[in-house]
Amino acid sequence: MSNTRFSIQGKVALVVGASRGLGRAIALGFADAGADVAVAARTAADLQEVERAVSERGRKGLALTAEVTDAQSVQQMVDQTVSHFGRIDILLNNVGKNISGLAAEGVTPEQFDDIVGTNLRGLFLVGTAVARTMIAAGTGGSIINMSSILGQVAMPATSIYSTTKGALNQMTRAWALEWAPHGIRVNALAPAYIVTSLNQHLFQDTAYRKNVESRVPLGRVGREEDTVGPAVFLASESAAYVTGHVLVVDGGWTIV
């Protein structure tokens, strides 16, 4: 098999939640694999750096701000991407939030609405807005929803977040079925613990790190780059016959 099947050369990718963490890493991974990349987040502060990093890789970048729970803001983000690049071939739907340490009995209605609103409403608004564009273009595409192993396994104090990720996995399957006639593949990426700028302070605690590592058959915590290859695979022609799948990236956590 030619390595070009793992290339996304000349494709246009939209990465939501791209200002830092896994979204940033995958956006740059898409650029390394040959795609032009629109990067979006709620605030513009960190996006300019990501846009520059895309350009330094010889690809075109575009930084956009969007509030994913607002339909008008989402549509504007999609319209700006299409206006700038002409189309969207790939979406990384990296939408999600959590409130750490929320025991179920302590969750307020406002907290519930906040988490569910972002993780499901935001995911739905972004995914359907991009799908409409792909359907209109008639050229198919790849949508990758960012899930978590918590869509499959349970952990304490994560009941609302876990529920949204389980629902995300099912929405991924439903979209894959609905949009297959249009040549749109829909899959999800489900990582376990990955060290990012947002949580690296936790892993500086030796006891915490060892506790996490003890759960992982491969014996280490995930790195941002561990998610890049799987995302590029799902975006590329190498995954042309893969849709409705939740790809777990967890070092073996969920097989134990």
DSSP 7-25: --TT-EEEEES-SSHHHHH
Distance from C-alpha of 140 to C-alpha of 136, rounded to nearest angstrom: 9
Distance from C-alpha of 11 to C-alpha of 135, rounded to nearest angstrom: 16
Distance from C-alpha of 132 to C-alpha of 130, rounded to nearest angstrom: 5
Point out the residues that are catalytic: 161
Q: Which residue has the tokens 């990582």?
A: 191
Quick check: 67 and 42 in contact, CB under 8 A?
A: yes
Distance from C-alpha of 135 to C-alpha of 132, rounded to nearest angstrom: 5
Strands (E), 1-96: 12-16, 36-41, 61-65, 90-93
Quick check: 89 and 12 in contact, CB under 8 A?
A: yes
